[in-house]
Structure formats: structure tokens, C-alpha cells
């Protein structure tokens, strides 16, 4: 292929990208999105990655959920009562709810779900939410009593876990169940098709108790490359996507883009971080991890990667959390201080400038998942920042499922990841020392007895102000320990095709009412 031909081809592609026309909508009554990775398992107790959780959450319901103002309200439960000592909750379930196969949802399904989540044979990261439960009992077909050993502050939120169909799973091995790929739930959408690596298609539940969703299908396409995904958005292959900062900066505010798309921007409730395998000799000393924190310039990353659309992260809570401790000071960016700490620990520069101690080179591999351009750019910047203090960082990019497998088995030195957090600030699953088994969320192996004690006490404290004080201490201790290098809280930037109406931004974001989104019958109204 000649150089001239290559240049013409590149020019043609650039012209295609730069030209904006009305998106070609092929299925006006399907809502189509995209994921950079395929789902893994769709039963709620195993849906721990974001791709799986997104689909699972459209198929299954919990007893409770958050409304648009972040108040806990009923989902499969229409109401509940809580005893004065906080040790007992009685849930009153909605009647005549049907599973997608036509069987009736009852209290026995709730009891079965509790037993499944707390069964040690099921490798779920969510079991700790039910550890304080003493008993779950069906009082009758539509009433469930949950008894606790002691008060449990996140109790109501914990029952947002998707409820499982007892009639299909009782006596079965859940982790290998076919329902992980062909789930039956009670939610607004029913499973229809899963073509591995290509798409998952759901169809609406016309008998859904909150009303029939407008869109006949919900389609999630697997598109690992963000540039390809953006082209699909602009030319009608998908209806919505999270924009990368560069996409938003260069297109999001332009009139030709805004003519066909609405863009919603708000702080995400989560953060991006580097997690260290704390069993690895390089990272066992917290002073080493503190030195790395001093060597990383978060502002440079936020400006260079997020183009300013984000804020620095100081610890395990984002600034919008009521548990966030604003008095915790971030580690000062100071390569000189980082070098001094490492020198005091016995690390000396070798002939190539890389630090060496007892014959061990300060060199490690950082895992990054494929398809996340922001994380890859973040890793590349950090690589250069650490090189300035004598640390060699090697970047390894992996397909999502391969990435998850290494993380789950703790076969890594360091990983670049992000947490999307629940609104209750309970940190038990992520930072408690008991949650380090394969498949659980404390895969870095963090352990601090005082943090354990405070997290446990906060779980038992019903008074919000008292809980806040406990979490402030937790925030301070975890920041000092640096089991993660806490990097940034990115803004969520979501572009949605303007033909879709009914989107009402709220404290909960935009997705809380997606089943009521709609497309006007008159095509002329689509882009007005």
C-alpha cells in the first residue's frame, strides 16, 4: 500500500469523523447502549463487575432501592417496619408480582436468596451485608421478618440485592447455573439473547408492576474501542454512551453535536485508584506506598487525562459522600520527598537510574483493562512520574475477563481500577481484613485492626452523626496507610440521543427513571 494511498485513507476517515449528520435510527423503539467489556455472570450475587451488574440490574429487583433524591424506597417490598432497637425489620411484599416465566414471587424467594448469599459454597462478594442477620423468616406468603444479632445501619440498603427465583434454583449449584447466562427475574426487562463478545438483548416486561417500559428492547453492544463506540453514537448505532473527556471537550459543546444529542455531566459517585498487592515485597511497607503517593501528580493527570473534568481523590470516600472527611490532607506532590523517603528505606539508584535494594529492582507491572482510554493514559503519565524518582513501571493491557481473572486470583503486582460506590458509606466489603478470599473485593489484602474495629462499629451505629465521626477516622487511617494510591473522582459525562425524551436529572443521576423514557411518535419532534 503506497504512502499516498494511506494518507488519502486517513483523510477520508478524518472527514467521516468530522462530518455530523442526523443519526440513522434503525430501531426507534429499542434503547441501545454499549459496553467496553462483555458481562460475566448475570445472577445478582455473582454480578460484581460493572458490565454484569448493569444488565443484571435491569432483569432483577431487590426489596428496596434509591429514588431520584437518594431516599430508600420500596421495590419488591411495598412497605416495612423497624423495631425500636433496630434489630428487626418486617417487610411487606407487593402481591401478584410474577417472575418472567409466570411463577409468582413470594416471601420464600427472599428466604432462599438470603440462604444462597450466605452459603459459603457461593463465591459472592456481597455476603458480608448479611453476616449480621440472625434469621430471615417468611411469616406468610407476602411478609418477611429479618432478625439481626445487633443493629445494622446499612440494613435497608443491603436488601436492594436482586432477589433470586427459588423455584428455578433450589437444590442447584448456583455458580455454574445456566441462569447466569439465561436469567429469569422480576424486573422491567426480560432476557432474550446473549451473543458472547457482541451483544446482549433484553425485551420489555409488559407486566412490570411499575408500568410497561416504553422501549420494546434494551440492547447492550460490546464495543471495546472507545473511538468506534463514539462513531456508533454519532451515526445511530447506539443511543447513549459515557463520553471520554476529549470527546466531550471537542464535540460535546459544539452546535452540530448538541443538535442531535443531550449531554449530562455530574460528579460520579466513585473514584479511580492504583491498588497494590500488599503481599508483594515491594509494597508491604506503607512508607513505600506513601512515597509513591508523593511521586504522583494528580493535578497533572486530571488536566492531562480528564481535561479538568474531575477532582483529586484523598481516600475511600468521594467528596459528595456524607462520610467524606474534608480535613484529611492529600499527599503533597513532591518527587524530592518521595526520593528521600525511599533512600531512608535503603533504596539506592542503580546504573540505569532505577532504585535497587538488596539486589531487588524497584520495577513492577501495572495491569490496565482494555477499552478504557482514560486509565491507559493515566498509567502512561504515572509511568513517567515514577521514573523521575527511580521506579520502573511497566504497563500491561488485558481484555476485561482476563484482567478480572488475575485480580480475583490476586495474581498481580498492581492494578489500575475504579470503584462505583453504593450510597451508604459502609466499607466492610472493600477494606475489612476478612474480605480477602477469591472473588471478594479486598483483593489487595489490606489489613488494619483499628480500621476493622471502626468499620464494624460504624455498621452498628444507627445515628448518622455518630457514624460520620467514625468514618472520618477511617478516612484518615486508610489515607495514611495508602493501600491504594487514590487518584481522582471523574465526572460522569453521558451523551443521549435527543429523540429520547423524559430524562430528568436528579441527585441520583439520570438512570433512575429510564423505563419511562420515550420517543415521540412524530419524527419531527425528535430533535426539538
Express each pLDDT in 121-170 by its tens digit. Answer: 999 989 988 989 999 999 999 999 999 999 999 999 999 999 999 999 99
Q: Are residues 155 and 248 in the same domain?
A: no
Domain stops at, among 141, 170, 199 = 170
The number of domains in the chain is 3
Do the domain assignments include residue 200? yes
Do the domain assignments include residue 12? no
Q: Are residues 396 and 348 in the same domain?
A: yes
3-state DSSP assignment of residue 445: coil
Do the domain assignments include residue 46? no
- Cα(44)–Cα(59) distance, integer angstroms: 9
Q: Are residues 336 and 311 in the same domain?
A: yes
Structure confidence at residue 524 (pLDDT) = 67
Concatenating the DSSP letter of every residue in 71-88 gives: -EEESSEEEEEE-TTS-E
Task: State the chain's mean pLDDT as an integer.
Answer: 92
Which residue positions in the chain have pLDDT lower than 70? 1-28, 524
**Domain span at residue 408?**
270-490
Do the domain assignments include residue 416? yes
Structure confidence at residue 163 (pLDDT) = 98
Report which of 298, 297, 382, 286 is spatially closest to residue 341, judged by C-alpha positions: 286
Structure confidence at residue 154 (pLDDT) = 94
Do the domain assignments include residue 339? yes
Structure confidence at residue 160 (pLDDT) = 96
CB-based contact 6:145 (threshold 8 Å): no
Q: Are residues 186 and 165 in the same domain?
A: no
142: which 3 cell numbers?
A: 407476602
Q: Are residues 192 and 305 in the same domain?
A: no
pLDDT in tens, 171-184: 999 999 999 999 99
Q: Are residues 486 and 341 in the same domain?
A: yes
78-86: long-range contacts, CB 8 A cutoff, minimum separation 24: 80/156, 85/151, 86/148, 86/151, 86/152, 86/155, 86/462
Domain stops at, among 129, 151, 170 = 170
Q: Are residues 220 and 239 in the same domain?
A: yes
Q: Are residues 382 and 302 in the same domain?
A: yes
Q: Which CATH number do you get for residue 99?
A: 3.90.76.10
Report which of 486, 399, 521, 462 is spatially closest to residue 49, judged by C-alpha positions: 399
Q: Are residues 300 and 399 in the same domain?
A: yes
**Residue bearing cell 476493622:** 452
Do the domain assignments include residue 70? yes
- Cα(349)–Cα(265) distance, integer angstroms: 45
First to last CA, the chain: 46
Do the domain assignments include residue 83? yes
Domain stops at, among 123, 144, 170 = 170
Do the domain assignments include residue 2? no
Q: Which CATH number do you get for residue 333?
A: 3.10.105.10
Q: Are residues 332 and 445 in the same domain?
A: yes
Contacts of 11 (CB under 8 A, 6+ apart): none
Q: Are residues 234 and 189 in the same domain?
A: yes
Structure confidence at residue 24 (pLDDT) = 56
Q: Are residues 296 and 417 in the same domain?
A: yes
Amino acid at each position: 500500500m503506497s504512502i499516498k494511498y494511506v494518507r488519502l485513507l486517513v483523510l477520508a476517515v478524518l472527514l467521516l469523523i468530522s462530518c455530523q449528520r442526523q443519526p440513522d435510527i434503525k430501531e426507534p423503539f429499542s434503547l441501545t447502549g454499549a459496553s467496553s467489556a462483555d458481562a460475566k455472570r448475570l445472577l445478582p450475587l455473582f454480578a460484581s463487575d460493572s458490565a454484569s451488574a448493569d444488565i443484571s440490574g435491569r432483569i432483577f429487583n431487590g426489596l428496596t432501592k434509591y429514588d431520584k433524591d437518594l431516599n430508600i424506597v420500596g421495590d419488591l417490598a411495598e412497605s416495612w417496619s423497624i423495631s425500636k432497637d433496630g434489630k428487626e425489620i418486617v417487610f411487606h411484599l407487593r402481591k401478584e408480582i410474577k417472575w418472567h416465566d409466570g411463577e409468582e414471587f413470594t416471601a420464600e424467594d427472599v428466604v432462599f436468596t438470603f440462604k444462597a448469599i450466605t452459603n459459603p459454597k457461593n463465591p459472592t462478594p456481597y455476603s458480608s451485608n448479611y453476616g449480621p442477620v440472625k434469621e430471615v423468616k417468611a411469616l406468610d406468603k407476602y411478609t418477611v421478618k429479618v432478625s439481626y444479632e445487633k443493629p445494622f445501619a446499612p440494613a435497608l440498603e443491603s436488601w436492594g440485592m436482586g432477589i433470586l427465583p427459588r423455584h428455578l434454583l433450589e437444590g442447584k449449584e448456583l455458580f455454574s447455573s445456566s441462569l447466569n447466562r439465561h436469567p429469569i427475574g422480576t424486573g422491567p426487562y426480560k432476557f432474550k439473547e446473549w451473543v458472547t463478545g457482541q451483544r446482549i438483548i433484553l425485551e420489555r416486561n409488559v407486566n412490570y408492576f411499575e408500568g410497561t417500559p416504553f422501549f420494546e428492547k434494551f440492547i447492550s453492544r460490546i464495543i471495546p474501542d472507545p473511538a468506534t463506540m463514539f462513531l456508533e453514537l454519532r451515526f445511530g448505532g447506539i443511543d447513549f454512551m459515557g463520553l471520554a473527556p476529549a470527546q466531550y471537550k471537542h464535540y460535546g459543546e459544539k452546535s452540530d453535536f448538541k443538535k442531535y444529542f443531550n449531554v449530562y455531566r455530574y460528579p460520579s459517585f466513585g473514584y479511580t485508584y492504583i491498588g497494590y498487592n500488599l503481599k508483594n515485597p515491594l509494597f508491604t511497607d506503607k512508607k513505600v506506598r506513601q512515597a509513591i503517593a508523593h511521586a504522583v501528580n494528580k493535578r497533572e493527570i486530571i488536566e492531562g487525562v480528564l481535561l479538568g473534568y474531575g477532582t483529586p481523590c484523598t481516600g475511600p470516600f468521594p467528596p459528595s459522600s456524607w462520610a467524606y472527611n474534608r480535613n484529611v490532607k492529600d499527599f503533597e506532590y513532591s518527587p524530592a520527598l518521595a526520593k528521600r523517603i525511599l533512600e531512608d528505606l535503603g533504596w539506592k539508584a542503580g546504573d540505569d537510574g532505577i532504585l535497587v535494594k538488596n539486589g531487588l529492582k524497584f520495577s513492577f507491572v501495572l495491569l490496565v483493562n482494555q477499552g478504557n482510554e482514560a486509565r491507559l493514559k493515566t498509567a502512561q503519565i504515572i509511568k513517567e512520574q515514577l521514573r523521575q524518582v527511580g521506579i520502573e513501571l511497566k504497563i500491561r493491557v488485558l481484555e476485561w475477563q482476563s484482567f478480572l481473572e488475575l485480580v480475583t486470583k490476586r495474581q498481580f503486582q498492581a492494578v489500575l481500577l475504579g470503584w462505583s460506590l453504593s450510597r451508604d458509606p459502609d466499607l466492610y466489603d472493600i477494606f475489612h481484613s476478612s474480605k480477602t478470599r477469591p472473588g471478594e473485593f479486598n483483593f489487595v489484602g489490606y489489613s488494619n485492626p483499628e480500621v476493622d474495629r471502626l468499620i464494624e462499629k460504624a455498621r452498628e451505629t444507627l445515628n448518622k452523626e455518630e457514624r460520620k465521626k467514625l468514618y472520618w477516622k477511617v478516612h484518615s487511617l486508610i489515607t495514611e496507610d495508602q493501600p491504594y494510591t487514590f487518584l481522582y473522582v471523574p465526572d460522569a459525562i453521558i451523551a443521549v440521543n435527543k429523540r429520547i425524551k423524559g430524562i430528568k436529572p436528579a441527585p441520583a443521576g439520570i438512570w433512575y427513571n429510564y423505563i419511562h423514557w420515550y420517543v415521540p411518535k412524530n419524527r419531527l419532534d425528535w430533535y426539538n
